[in-house]
Chain A
Amino acid sequence: MTLAYVWYFVVLLAIICYAMLDGFDLGVGVLHLFARNDEERRIFLNSIGPVWDGNEVWLVIVGGTLFAGFPDVFATIFSSFYIPTMILLMGLIYRAVSIEFRSKETSTRWRQNWDIIFALGSFVIAFGVGVLLGNLVDGIPLDAEYNFVGSFWTFVKPFDLLVGVMTVALFAMHGAIYLVMKTEGELHDRIRTWVPRCIASFLILYIVVTLITLYRKPYMVDNMRDHPALFLIPLGTLVSILFVPYLMSKKRDGWAFLASCLSIALLISLVAAGTFPYIVRSSIDPQNNSLLISNSSASLLTLKILMIIVAIGVPLVLAYGFYIYRVFRGKVKLDESSY
């Protein structure tokens, strides 16, 4: 079923879009408490104000494309990751409402509380997404019916936590670059100094994670050994990351942001290149109990319907997505309709 493989790339693309877009507003959230006063925090919030909910829809798309194209994967992942999913959902709920609620009241305590909830929610989501990714690389204990037979502690192995922290650093970097684009004056200069620190922390974590993967999870390089061209992906990731500080130093902030987007896209492709054609790897019996593209996809007709929906829908989504980003380009200015 070649269409199932095509759909796999559609889901992958949805994940990449989610990470590139929600990545920066989650990053802004992670950095939120580092802003010094109410006005700065309002600038942070309003920099993502018009776009964050659209960005978050990509997560629904990831869920939807997975549910539709790979029902077994959807069912297995979320019933296995029961507690992590619930924690993630808690983060998503609180983050969504804190943006809307925060500036509705003027009292300092009200705003401080929602500030903390917003930052914490953003952190939990970024971290949780990373832990999920780590577990998909690791594999989880699945029996022959693709049911999970582990416990909560299965998910919190040191490797997964490390990937979680790395994701937070990555999104913080991404968010900081975005904020540099959206701010001006003293705040702008200050945020500019955050970027190198974020990049450095991410790079260190990335190297450690890569080394552990190479050493402990040799199956992740099987595909690359068979198709050496795939080595371009990790190489590209490293190059694009290193381009970020270079472009920042040249004050080409927009290009730096694009480089950051590219490195996120490549990083996710790297995970896919390592795990392909596995979607959920069974750590008990990878040969027989894993969910692969070929044994978990929906029927051919459904995949065809989905392709039509995507062929009509995605160009529209991209068109007005670009338009809205264009309308709100430039520095944030607070006015009476701001948060």
Chain B
Amino acid sequence: MDPLILSRIQFAMTSMFHYLYPPLSIGISLYLVFIEGMYLKTKDPLYLQMTKFWVKVFGLTFALGVATGLVQVFNFGTNWADYSRYVGDVFGSALGAEGIFAFFLEAGFFGLVLFGWNRVSPKVHYFATICVAIGAHFSAVWIVVANSWMQTPQGFKIVGTGAKTKAVVTNFWEMIFNPSSMDRLVHVLLGCWLTGLFLIISISAFYMLKNRHRDFAKKSMKVALALSCFVLILQLISADSTARGVAQNQPSKLAAMEGVYQTKKSTPMTLIGWVDRKSETVKGIKIPGLLSFFVYRNFTTPVEGFDNIPKDERPPIQPVFQAYHMMIYMWSAMVLGAFVGFFLLWRKKLEKSKWVLRFLIISVIFPQVANMSGWMTAEIGRQPWVVWKLLRTANGVSPNLVNSQVLGSLIMLFSIYVSLLLTFLFLLDRKIKQGPEEQKEVPLAYSKKLGAKG
């Protein structure tokens, strides 16, 4: 193994571990805005109890998101120096904006949300919660925009030659609103909301099954299930739009996602399958013409296959194909859980449907797997480019890396991340088993202010 492959493994590994946490933070932050708002509106102490419980969970995911996110920023410099030199002019401004507009908002006001219960009025506290949510969402905006620029670069020019070649911004707004950024941003944010919602669904299902914190669980479940049914439908629309964008802008990625080797009329869609690289075919269940329909809205127009793409510009097909399909399976599983759960809740049968509750408990991993496989599709599907048609991944790596050092850092980071994940799961498990604290009385200072001002 050389520094290139080790650096790629390291970046993939740290990104995947990092991406366990921010979607939870983003999803939960929005939920907090909702339930704390409900508390201010109804004064029902149950909502305050829910808010306080989820603030603590948010704190855990946020700390881990920050800790693992720092690694991401500096990884660009350590392992991808030539990439940083090449894209710094473009990528850097988005990253700078992320820091100033998003991280400060989130980190600054989170202190207030966590510790400010007795120090500020309820309205100010709620304002802080909203700021945290906005900050969390902003952080997704800038990083997805930056990543989308790598997929569909626009608003730049190339200057310099040889090792000093780089991309330079010519139009900021064209760069921000590049062809894929809005589609992908919506897709990512909906994914984040689902991640948060399904954690809530899972925990509520656990309480229902154990017959604990009944009011808390039922109320949480109702809100989360209703929202997730809605978001899942939105996600379908977003997915369609995103995939059609890929077909237009990155045909080789779409060919890999759907396993299209030959460009031919009525391109079929494979529901489940395995790519056979030797015979250049995909074995599995296919529906003729469906892919043509999804991409072009008619059943005949051919979708571009690998045969139109030079051999050295093709991404690895099997992982992209499987990851993409995994994402769809996960979406289907979420749809099943959310709609069945919502139906049973509506018929007041959910609490007795033990198997459905068990399914909902494990459903917490579906959006996580969907997130991971979605990003794998996006990033492996972009190969061999790190910046589409401009810079190959192999040319972005730091030139002065020492093999043993990268191997060392990879092992170190991997062990840290595994231990952090285990600790996170341990603490989350404890937090869930402990449950929300009964909010018999609202904190004195808080209620006084609420009475005086609310």
Tell me the A residues contacting B by CB distance below 8 Å: 46, 49-51, 53-54, 56-57, 59-61, 63-65, 67-72, 74-83, 85-86, 89-90, 92-94, 96-97, 99-101, 104-105, 145, 147-149, 152, 298-299, 301-302, 305-306, 309-310, 313-314, 316-317, 320-321, 324, 327-328, 335-338
B111 nearest in chain A by CB position: A50
Query: When the two chains form the complex, which single residue of B87, B107, B110 contacts A56, counting CB atoms closer than 8 Å?
Result: B107
Interface assignment of B108: CB less than 8 Å from any CB of chain A: yes
Query: When the two chains form the complex, which single residue of B111, B163, B398, B416 contacts A328, counting CB atoms closer than 8 Å?
Result: B111
Interface assignment of B401: CB less than 8 Å from any CB of chain A: yes
Interface assignment of B100: CB less than 8 Å from any CB of chain A: yes
The 5 closest A-B pairs by CB, nearest first: A71-B88, A78-B77, A68-B92, A50-B111, A313-B100
State whether B119 touches A85 (Cβ < 8 A): no
Q: Which chain B positions have C-beta within 8 A of A53? A: 62-63, 66, 107, 110-111
Q: Which chain A positions have C-beta within 8 A of B70? A: 56, 59-60, 89, 92-93, 96
State whether A306 touches B96 (Cβ < 8 A): yes
Tell me the B residues contacting A by CB distance below 8 Å: 59-60, 62-64, 66-71, 73-74, 76-79, 81-82, 84-85, 87-93, 95-101, 103-105, 107-112, 114-120, 131, 159, 163, 166, 168-170, 172, 398-402, 405-406, 408-409, 412-413, 416, 420, 423, 427, 430-431, 443
Closest approach, in angstroms, between the C-beta of A24 and any C-beta of chain B?
15
Q: Give Cα A305–Cα B176 distance, bound, in whole angstroms.
A: 12
Q: Give Cα A251–Cα B95 distance, bound, in whole angstroms.
A: 43
Q: Which chain A positions have C-beta within 8 A of B430? A: 104-105
Closest approach, in angstroms, between the C-beta of B83 and any C-beta of chain A?
8
* 6 A-B interface contacts by CB (under 8 A): A57-B99, A57-B104, A89-B70, A93-B71, A147-B399, A327-B120
Q: Which chain B positions have C-beta within 8 A of A93? A: 67-68, 70-71, 416, 420
Closest approach, in angstroms, between the C-beta of B340 and any C-beta of chain A?
35
Q: Which chain A positions have C-beta within 8 A of B79? A: 79
Q: Which chain B positions have C-beta within 8 A of A328? A: 111, 115-116, 119
Q: Give Cα A75–Cα B91 distance, bound, in whole angstroms.
A: 13
Q: Which chain A positions have C-beta within 8 A of B405? A: 82-83, 152
Q: Which chain A positions have C-beta within 8 A of B408? A: 83, 86
Q: Which chain B positions have C-beta within 8 A of A96? A: 63, 66-67, 70
Task: Assess A67 versus B77: contact at CB under 8 Å? Given A93-B71, A100-B60.
Answer: yes
Q: Give Cα A57–Cα B103 distance, bound, in whole angstroms.
A: 7
**Which of the listed residues B78, B409, B443 has the most CB atoms from chain A within 10 Å of its own CB?**
B78
State whether A147 touches B93 (Cβ < 8 A): no
Q: Which chain B positions have C-beta within 8 A of A63? A: 73-74, 77, 99
- Chain A's interface: helix, strand, loop or mixed, by majority? helix
State whether A61 touches B99 (Cβ < 8 A): yes
State whether A64 touches B95 (Cβ < 8 A): yes
Q: Which chain A positions have C-beta within 8 A of B402? A: 82
Q: Which chain A positions have C-beta within 8 A of B109? A: 320, 324
State whether A100 touches B59 (Cβ < 8 A): yes
Q: Give Cα A60–Cα B93 distance, bound, in whole angstroms.
A: 13
State whether B116 touches A327 (Cβ < 8 A): yes
Query: When the two chains form the complex, which single residue of A79, A152, A314, A317 contacts B77, counting CB atoms closer than 8 Å?
Result: A79
Task: Assess A71 versus B100: contact at CB under 8 Å? Given A63-B73, A85-B78, A337-B117.
Answer: no
State whether A75 touches B92 (Cβ < 8 A): no
B83 nearest in chain A by CB position: A75
Q: Which chain B positions have C-beta within 8 A of A97? A: 63-64, 67, 420, 423
Q: Give Cα A64–Cα B60 distance, bound, in whole angstroms.
A: 25
Query: When the two chains form the complex, which single residue of B64, B81, B96 contacts A79, counting CB atoms closer than 8 Å?
Result: B81
Q: Which chain B positions have C-beta within 8 A of A104? A: 427, 430-431
Q: Which chain A positions have C-beta within 8 A of B85? A: 71-72, 75
B60 nearest in chain A by CB position: A100
Q: Give Cα A83–Cα B409 distance, bound, in whole angstroms.
A: 8
State whether B168 touches A301 (Cβ < 8 A): yes
State whether B84 touches A305 (Cβ < 8 A): no
State whether B111 touches A54 (Cβ < 8 A): yes
Task: Assess A67 versus B409: contact at CB under 8 Å? Given A50-B114, A93-B71, A302-B169.
Answer: no
**Which of the listed residues A51, A76, A94, A302 has the most CB atoms from chain B within 10 Å of its own CB?**
A302
Q: Which chain A positions have C-beta within 8 A of B64? A: 97, 100
State whether B169 touches A79 (Cβ < 8 A): no
Q: Which chain A positions have C-beta within 8 A of B431? A: 104
Q: Give Cα A150–Cα B224 distance, bound, in whole angstroms.
A: 55
Query: When the two chains form the complex, which single residue of A67, A79, A92, A94 contacts B92, counting CB atoms closer than 8 Å?
Result: A67
State whether B88 touches A72 (Cβ < 8 A): yes
Task: Assess A82 versus B401: contact at CB under 8 Å? Given A63-B73, A313-B101.
Answer: yes
Q: Give Cα A139–Cα B68 distance, bound, in whole angstroms.
A: 30
Query: When the two chains form the complex, which single residue of B87, B97, B108, B169 contacts A309, counting CB atoms closer than 8 Å?
Result: B97
State whether A60 touches B78 (Cβ < 8 A): no
**A-B contacts besides A68-B93, A83-B409, A93-B71, 7 pairs, CB < 8 Å:** A50-B114, A53-B110, A64-B99, A64-B100, A65-B96, A96-B66, A147-B400
